Amino acid sequence: MTEYDIQGPARTCAVTGRELKPGDRFYAVLREDGGKLVRSDTAADAWTGPPEGVVAYWAGKVPAATDKPRRPVVNDEVLLDCFARLAGTADADGLNFRYVAALLLMRRKRFKFEDAVRDAAGNDVMVLRDARGGAVHHVTDPRLTDEQIGAVQAEVFRVLGWQ
């Protein structure tokens, strides 16, 4: 099973060091560092835009302790941005993350399955079309088990702050 060592929401601004309190708006950044995906959060008033080379970024609000847990709202654009930034990665964790992101985008009807082909290296590759823009994407199948897909999906949701 693939494990990612990514911290969840920090509740501390990466720029100012101050605590992010319930109700505070923030921006989260996901970047690759030494082969690992690392998340950092920045208070909205300290945000100057996404750093160069990030995998994904998104805005959020620190929930109040009394807020009831709710079903995560999946932001297709954040998921699509993360998927696109991992194009061309050879890292196993990045391939798994991108594959599961593609499955989620297909479930959300953002991507449409067109074909399955085999590349020159003998890997199975899904050919997907973006339902909105028409772009074609080739996604290597890392041959994950159902259990591994569930674990990677849970990690995608945790990393993006959707659970």
Q: For 12-28, what is each residue's pLDDT tens digit?
A: 999 999 999 988 999 99
Q: How confident is the model at residue 110 (pLDDT cuts 50, 70, 90)?
A: very high
At residue 162, what is the residue type?
Answer: W
Q: Indicate if the pLDDT at residue 11 is higher than 80.
A: yes
Residue 30 lies in a domain: no
Dihedrals phi, psi of 127, to nearest 5 degrees = -105, 115
**Domain of 94, in residue numbers:** 76-159
Report the distance separating Cα 144 and Cα 146, nearest Å.
Answer: 7
pLDDT at 91: 87
Name the one residue in this structure whose structure tokens are 């259990």: 147
Whether the pLDDT of residue 1 is over 50: the answer is: no
Residue 83 lies in a domain: yes
Put simply, whether the predicted model's pTM sits higher than 0.75 gets the answer no
- Mean pLDDT within 131-153: 89
pLDDT of res. 144: 87
Q: Is residue 86 part of a domain?
A: yes
Domains in the chain: how many in total? Answer: 1
Q: Residue 9 falls within a domain, yes or no?
A: no
Tokens 């690992």 sit on residue: 36
Least confident of 65-74, 114-123, 125-134: 65-74
Decide if 91 is inside a domain. yes
pLDDT cut 90: percent of the chain above it: 40
For 33, the enclosing helix (H) or strand (E) is strand 25-33
- Secondary element (H or E) of residue 36: strand 36-43
Average pLDDT over residues 129-154: 90
Asked whether residue 149 is domain-assigned, the answer is yes
Name the residue with higher pLDDT: 31 or 9: 31
Is the residue at 60 inside a domain? no
Banded model confidence at residue 163, pLDDT cuts 50, 70, 90: low
Q: Is residue 138 part of a domain?
A: yes
